Amino acid sequence: MFRFIIRRSLGAFVILLLISAFTFFMFFAIPQDPALLACGKNCGPEALELIHKNMGLDKPVPEQYFEFMKGIVAGRDFSVGHCDAPCFGISFDDQRNVWDTIIDRLPLTVSLTVGGLVVFLAIGIGAGMIAARKKGTLTDKSVSSLSLVFSSMQIYFLGPIMLGLLVYSTGWMDSPKYVPISEDPIGWAVGLLIPWFVMALIFTAQYTRMSRSTLIEQMQEDHVRTAKAKGMSKRYVFYRYAWRGSLTPIVTILGIDLGSLLGGAIVTEQTFSLAGLGQLVIDSTNNKDLPMTMGVMLISAAFILLLNIIVDVVYGFIDPRVRLA
């Protein structure tokens, strides 16, 4: 297990390096000078030169990349002061330390993603279990069709509708807001409840379907029959044998979904006007804010890779056959 995590972490490190290089060099492929934006309307060549120098844009691109990467490990000195490691530079836009901004915004996005994930897994697996146990009945059919309806909707459509329904017209809930979990765990959960559910409803459908079909398949397995032949009760056989076997494919699609999950979180932030990484990534790209773009890209990639490693570890946890693989 330990070896496995080390190996995967090394792999993740290589992927992050590739992402950083790709993002950095692509940035310079865009034919627009970020210094022009900073320079303002009355910008002379000398002023531009100076800004270039301040931003470090006067050096060759590979050297700039090397400086940037060195900063993450060792920290960097800027005209405005020292930037501690991990240093992702100073934003071209607001002159703040990029790392500080990310640290401000990251908890919200992580809360949204992880919370949404928990909610949709719970609903998806739960609904799938109900449908599988009541296979062929009205309950089964309602669950299946309902999940299909929600899955064909979009966050930016479902989001406003939920807001209108639960917040504006009935006043049952407050507008979604972010309260750090360390300050008020209940407030944190209540504040994000609506976004979680909106995200979850859209992702749930395929988990419901997957969970239902694999459970039905598992119930036909030989080892489930053996468990019945031992006299174990129906409930026991269903939960301990069939259900356990249905988790592997669910974890598999979860691994595939992780990337789009972060995308979903960004759209959700936009829909509910929450200030997370989503707003940051859009703004920084529009503003040609290289350090910020790099920072957000790398942090979100690292986050997804981390989730992926967790998924793989969970795999081994579910199925002893893939342990120590």
Which residues form the interface with another protein (CB under 8 A)? Answer: 3, 6-7, 10, 221-234, 240-241, 244-245, 318-321
We find the least distance from the C-beta atom of residue 2 to another protein, in angstroms, to be 10
Nearer to another protein among residue 165 and residue 322 (C-beta): 322
Nearer to another protein among residue 13 and residue 28 (C-beta): 13
* Site of tokens 């309602």: 142
We find the least distance from the C-beta atom of residue 318 to another protein, in angstroms, to be 7
**253/272 Cα distance (integer angstroms):** 27
We find the least distance from the C-beta atom of residue 3 to another protein, in angstroms, to be 5
H helix intervals, 75-182: 98-133, 138-151, 155-162
**55/203 Cα distance (integer angstroms):** 42
* Sign of torsion over alpha carbons 118, 120, 122, 125: negative
Closest CA to 119 of 300, 261, 305, 318: 261
**214/250 Cα distance (integer angstroms):** 9
- CB distance 298 to 44 below 8 Å: no
- CB distance 65 to 25 below 8 Å: yes
We find the least distance from the C-beta atom of residue 259 to another protein, in angstroms, to be 24
Strand positions, DSSP E, the chain = 76-78, 81-83
Residue 302 burial class via C-beta count within 10 angstroms: exposed 0-12, middle 13-18, buried 19 and up:
middle
- CB distance 72 to 85 below 8 Å: yes
We find the least distance from the C-beta atom of residue 255 to another protein, in angstroms, to be 19
Nearer to another protein among residue 11 and residue 185 (C-beta): 11
Nearer to another protein among residue 181 and residue 251 (C-beta): 251
Nearer to another protein among residue 14 and residue 29 (C-beta): 14
- As a three-state string, the secondary structure of 277-300 is HHHHHHHHHHCCCHHHHHHHHHHH
